[in-house]
Chains A and B, each alone.
Chain A
Amino acid sequence: MKEFLLGKLSLKALPHEWSTIGATMTFLVGALVLVLLITRLKRWKWLWNEWLTSVDPKKIGIMYFIVATFMLLRGGLDAVMIWLQQALSSGASNGYLSAAHFQQIFTAHGNIMVFFVAMGFMFGLINYVVPLQIGARDLASPFLNTLGFWLYVAGAIMINLFFVLGGEYAATGWLAVAPLSGTQFSPGVGVDYLIWSLQISGIGTTLGGINFVMTILKMRAPGMTLRKMPMFTWASLCSMVMVVTVFPILTVTLFLLFFDRYLGMHFFTTDLGGNAMMYTNLIWMWGHPEVYILMLPAFGIYSEVVSTFSGKRIASYTSQVLGMIGVSTLALLVWLHHFFTMGAGANVNAFFGIMTTVIAIPTAVLVFNWIATMYKGRIRFKTPMLWFLGFISVFSFGGLAGLLLAVPPANFQLHNSLFLVAHFHTMVIGGVLFGIFAGITYWFPKVTGFKLNERIGRYAFWGWIIGFCMAFIPLYVLGFMGATRRLDHYDSSTGWQPLFILALIGGIIISVAVVLQIIQIIASVIQKRQLADTTGDPWYGRTLEWATPSPPPFYNFATIPTVTARDAYWEIKRHGGLPKPKYEDIHMPKNTAYGIYVSAFAFLAGFAFVWHINWLAIVGIIGAIVCVIIRTFDEHVEYTITADEVEKIESKMRKKNLAADGQGEEMGLWDFVKIVITFIADIFRKKLWRRI
């Protein structure tokens, strides 16, 4: 009876190790503080109505940022633990982590960074910026948007839940390769948590991909042909088409692994005909395009940033677009380069090696385009531009490493070595993460209405790039010296320890840089009057999002602009600015809680699958289906704002903007420290705790 009700769940699943107890306590305390704060401020209804059930892509974008930031800190903590272990664990010392723990940490680190940090930030940016860039008011399907977000959140909760129930995560590496991920070698619930957190958020991603493709292809402002779209929109289109193409592969592959584990099937087992190598084949068929899915929006961000801060349009629009389409197409033809050593023979390896080398060509076209855009431009070295310059130097170096790895004979030496680890971190940090930072610092004023502190931003940038080089150049060297990846311990006779210590120092510098970024945000909030963006166009931008106030009203544009050329807003400015607005009725989608409900049921089903609680799985699936039916048969999902109401909102915004400041010097790091000390002193002097 107990087994029927609870499946494999029992009291043993509750935390009983220092790490799981500590994490659970942290979550509980954090949640408690949050609940108390919201209750004290009486903001529950506001939170529900204004944010959680919102279908406004701007609000959903911000929510993505918040969750992704939390996951960045979580994944970063994993990284620090890895650095520490590898610096300490040489020869006689075994570090402070057991081998089992270490394996779970690097697995979680990979999953979190790829699925919840990079995807989260990218979806946040695309949600916020693309509708503004194409002159739309919302995405094609507001419901799918909120559903996709909450499925992402369900996945994020799932991947953290193992601390509270189960106590173990997958110890298989981030892609859970078979047969190690099968029941025989991973009998616990760790791999199941991996499968279901990835599966649920993956389905959210697929729905988001469909939504964005629909939106970009069908909801552009009048006059905006495909060849007049901004670069970030083009990049997002290519990326989302790839999402729609390859995420189904991930969905099925994870289902097949799940079938092996839950239903005793034999796709990837070592017996009864299973072929574990098919798992590797399928998972990388998804996995390689995935990294380009992350990379392309970053390329789009760089195009926007370079163009704006060089004061020039992009050097060659057509070759930029063709380059992005080229990268997207070729990305589907190279996946075997992740397993040259699996032994498919020279012919197969040669084909994929050549295709991998070829994909460098469209990438180079993009890089040269950016550099050509800078040529003879009036360059302003604002923080977003710094991130771009950091990217160009770091990414090119890592790309060359990739070209080396693309050669099968060289790959046989370097496969799964630290050289590989250094290469892909260069790509993901130097390419994707720097792009995210460039995008955040670029569009921050649009989202919040005030710019970020430039001084502290510069310090953060230099911290990141110095820290990154210190952390990862030793890894390239270690790879050549024969160090494999995922080592929790190594012989002291290898002479590797000094390099691992260097890497740890680099990691510490990066951590300092992250702290500086947090300080940057707080300092900017403190000084938001001085840093205010009063015009909506703080960078002298070229694309339509800068034609709106900062932040934009919930309907984005009172009147949808007509587009006549590329760099639509630049063109509008050249011809004397936006025309006098002609107010008309606007149809907006209503908020909906069904995104939350469906995701909650999906979460329950996933949880049930992890713990083999069959009845709960059925409840979850049926619940999700019923909610979808209720929502899709609801015919009253829109509301109208009359032209008069629009006019009132617009004039209120104009008045608010005129009152903002926009002058004054921004604070430096030392100023911030002084403010913090004064604040803490004030708490004690004025006994502020009595006010709570």
Chain B
Amino acid sequence: MAQNIASHHEAEANDRVLFGFWIYLMTDLLMFAVLFATYAVLRDSTAGGPSDRELFRLPLAFTGTLLLLTSSFTCGIGMIAARQYKKFQTLLWFGITFLLGLAFLTLEVVEFRELIHEGHTWQSSAWLSSFFSLVGTHGLHIISGLLWMAVCMVFIVKRGLNSSMIRKLTLLSLFWHFLDIVWIFIFTIVYLMAFV
């Protein structure tokens, strides 16, 4: 009886936390929407410099997109393992997700460094300001997700896989899937549309 009340209490609490985090994701989506709107408005404000068509390397962005998409998939597999309390598999799949995410981030850093090296920085024009802000904000979110993932994995090793950890992983996976969804639109509107 007490066990039931306790697990009912926990189920309700979980439901609430998940819902609250969902609302937070919606606010994050809206923040990206404003960045997208700004990018769309300022897309032609190149201040006489080269345009997106001339500066972007589509194959690089495409590779990054595939890496991130795959990481979203492996994250989902990790969640299935977690809910079955399979500690090693959870660590394995989230580890792969982490590496794929790190690879994605590396490609992005490479792209940024190249642009900056050639003198196209966020100070060069309004368009470049909004490009670096939009893609950079997504990158910052990826870094946060990777940090969160690493901390979770450390705690799984130390404390084991209990229901509280599973709840945290659920939130993390929601966050990670959501980041991939935002990236679909960055890839389409920023990169693909440059070449239309």
Within residues 220 to 270 of chain A, which ones have a CB less than 8 A from any CB in chain B? 244-245, 247-249, 251-253, 255-256, 259-260, 263-267, 269
> Provided the pairs A278-B41, A278-B42 are in contact, do residues A210 and B23 lie with their beta carbons within 8 angstroms?
yes
Asked if B31 and A244 sit within 8 Å, CB to CB, the answer is: no
- For B45, the chain A residues whose CB sits under 8 A away are 266, 272-275
Asked if B168 and A249 sit within 8 Å, CB to CB, the answer is: no
- For B34, the chain A residues whose CB sits under 8 A away are 248-249, 252-253, 282
- For B42, the chain A residues whose CB sits under 8 A away are 267, 273, 275, 278
- Of B27, B28, B151, chain A has the most CB atoms within 10 Å of the CB of B27
Asked if B38 and A632 sit within 8 Å, CB to CB, the answer is: no
For the residues of B in contact with A, the DSSP-based class is helix
A411 to B76, CA, bound (A): 54
Asked if B168 and A632 sit within 8 Å, CB to CB, the answer is: yes
- For A211, the chain B residues whose CB sits under 8 A away are 20
Partner of B133, one of A144, A213, A247, A265: A265
- Rounded to whole Å, the gap between the CB of B151 and the closest CB of chain A is 6
Q: Does A629 contact B (CB under 8 A)?
A: yes
Binary flags per residue of B22-43, CB closer than 8 Å to A gives 1, else 0: 0110111011001101100110
- For B151, the chain A residues whose CB sits under 8 A away are 629, 633
Q: Does A5 contact B (CB under 8 A)?
A: no
- Rounded to whole Å, the gap between the CB of B27 and the closest CB of chain A is 5
Q: Does B86 contact A (CB under 8 A)?
A: no
Asked if A266 and B19 sit within 8 Å, CB to CB, the answer is: no
A251 to B27, CA, bound (A): 10
A263 to B12, CA, bound (A): 45
Q: Does A333 contact B (CB under 8 A)?
A: no
Residue of B nearest to A141 (CB): B20
- For A218, the chain B residues whose CB sits under 8 A away are 12, 15-16, 19
A499 to B24, CA, bound (A): 49
Q: Does B122 contact A (CB under 8 A)?
A: yes
Q: Does A378 contact B (CB under 8 A)?
A: no
- For A263, the chain B residues whose CB sits under 8 A away are 122-123
A282 to B36, CA, bound (A): 12
Asked if B27 and A140 sit within 8 Å, CB to CB, the answer is: no
- For A260, the chain B residues whose CB sits under 8 A away are 129
Q: Does B126 contact A (CB under 8 A)?
A: yes
Q: Does A107 contact B (CB under 8 A)?
A: no
Chain B interface residue number, banded = 35 or more
Q: Does A217 contact B (CB under 8 A)?
A: yes
> Provided the pairs A218-B15, A252-B35, A267-B42 are in contact, do residues A272 and B27 lie with their beta carbons within 8 angstroms?
no
A256 to B37, CA, bound (A): 12
Asked if A214 and B19 sit within 8 Å, CB to CB, the answer is: yes
Residue of A nearest to B123 (CB): A264
- Rounded to whole Å, the gap between the CB of B3 and the closest CB of chain A is 14
Q: Does B185 contact A (CB under 8 A)?
A: no
- For A247, the chain B residues whose CB sits under 8 A away are 27
Within residues 624 to 670 of chain A, which ones have a CB less than 8 A from any CB in chain B? 625, 629, 632-633, 635
Partner of A633, one of B24, B28, B155: B155
Q: Does B113 contact A (CB under 8 A)?
A: no
Q: Does B193 contact A (CB under 8 A)?
A: no
Q: Does B63 contact A (CB under 8 A)?
A: no
Q: Does A380 contact B (CB under 8 A)?
A: no
A635 to B155, CA, bound (A): 12
- For A81, the chain B residues whose CB sits under 8 A away are none
Residue of A nearest to B133 (CB): A259
> Provided the pairs A214-B16, A244-B26 are in contact, do residues A266 and B126 lie with their beta carbons within 8 angstroms?
yes
Asked if A213 and B23 sit within 8 Å, CB to CB, the answer is: yes
A255 to B140, CA, bound (A): 14
Chain A interface residue number, banded = 35 or more
- For B80, the chain A residues whose CB sits under 8 A away are none
Residue of A nearest to B121 (CB): A264
- For B164, the chain A residues whose CB sits under 8 A away are 635
Residue of B nearest to A217 (CB): B19
A594 to B38, CA, bound (A): 35
- For B12, the chain A residues whose CB sits under 8 A away are 218
- Rounded to whole Å, the gap between the CB of A182 and the closest CB of chain B is 12
Asked if B23 and A214 sit within 8 Å, CB to CB, the answer is: yes
- For B133, the chain A residues whose CB sits under 8 A away are 255-256, 259, 265, 267
Residue of A nearest to B20 (CB): A214
- Rounded to whole Å, the gap between the CB of A615 and the closest CB of chain B is 19
A206 to B26, CA, bound (A): 12
Residue of A nearest to B13 (CB): A140
- For A255, the chain B residues whose CB sits under 8 A away are 133
- For B123, the chain A residues whose CB sits under 8 A away are 263-266, 272
Q: Does A587 contact B (CB under 8 A)?
A: yes
- Rounded to whole Å, the gap between the CB of B117 and the closest CB of chain A is 18
Residue of B nearest to A210 (CB): B23
- Rounded to whole Å, the gap between the CB of B1 and the closest CB of chain A is 12
Asked if B30 and A273 sit within 8 Å, CB to CB, the answer is: no
Q: Does A525 contact B (CB under 8 A)?
A: no
Q: Does B46 contact A (CB under 8 A)?
A: yes
A251 to B29, CA, bound (A): 12
A630 to B129, CA, bound (A): 35
A247 to B31, CA, bound (A): 9
Asked if B20 and A278 sit within 8 Å, CB to CB, the answer is: no
Binary flags per residue of B125-145, CB closer than 8 Å to A gives 1, else 0: 111011011000000000000
Binary flags per residue of B149-164, CB closer than 8 Å to A gives 1, else 0: 0010001000000001
Q: Does A219 contact B (CB under 8 A)?
A: yes
Q: Does B57 contact A (CB under 8 A)?
A: no
- For A625, the chain B residues whose CB sits under 8 A away are 147
Asked if A249 and B30 sit within 8 Å, CB to CB, the answer is: yes
- For A275, the chain B residues whose CB sits under 8 A away are 41-42, 45, 126
A271 to B34, CA, bound (A): 22
Q: Does B124 contact A (CB under 8 A)?
A: yes
A217 to B20, CA, bound (A): 10
Within residues 249 to 308 of chain A, which ones have a CB less than 8 A from any CB in chain B? 249, 251-253, 255-256, 259-260, 263-267, 269, 271-275, 278, 282
- Rounded to whole Å, the gap between the CB of A133 and the closest CB of chain B is 18
Asked if A272 and B23 sit within 8 Å, CB to CB, the answer is: no
A251 to B133, CA, bound (A): 14
Partner of B129, one of A206, A244, A267: A267
Partner of B38, one of A213, A248, A273, A282: A282
A267 to B127, CA, bound (A): 8
Asked if B31 and A251 sit within 8 Å, CB to CB, the answer is: yes
A43 to B62, CA, bound (A): 62
Residue of A nearest to B30 (CB): A248
Q: Does B9 contact A (CB under 8 A)?
A: yes
Q: Does B47 contact A (CB under 8 A)?
A: yes
Asked if A273 and B46 sit within 8 Å, CB to CB, the answer is: yes
Partner of B27, one of A144, A248, A633: A248
A214 to B19, CA, bound (A): 7
16 chain-A/chain-B pairs, Cβ below 8 angstroms: A144-B20, A206-B27, A218-B15, A219-B16, A247-B27, A252-B31, A264-B123, A265-B129, A269-B126, A272-B45, A272-B123, A272-B126, A273-B126, A274-B45, A275-B41, A275-B45
Q: Which A residues form the contact surface with B (CB < 8 A)?
A: 140-141, 144, 206, 210-211, 213-214, 217-219, 244-245, 247-249, 251-253, 255-256, 259-260, 263-267, 269, 271-275, 278, 282, 587, 625, 629, 632-633, 635
Q: Which B residues form the contact surface with A (CB < 8 A)?
A: 9, 12, 15-17, 19-20, 23-24, 26-28, 30-31, 34-35, 37-38, 41-42, 45-47, 122-127, 129-130, 132-133, 147, 151, 155, 164, 168
- A214-B19, A266-B47 are known; give 15 further A-B pairs, CB within 8 A: A140-B16, A214-B16, A217-B19, A218-B19, A245-B27, A245-B30, A252-B34, A252-B38, A263-B123, A264-B123, A265-B132, A274-B45, A282-B34, A282-B37, A587-B9
Give 5 nearest A-B pairs by CB, closest first: A273-B45, A273-B126, A265-B129, A248-B30, A252-B34
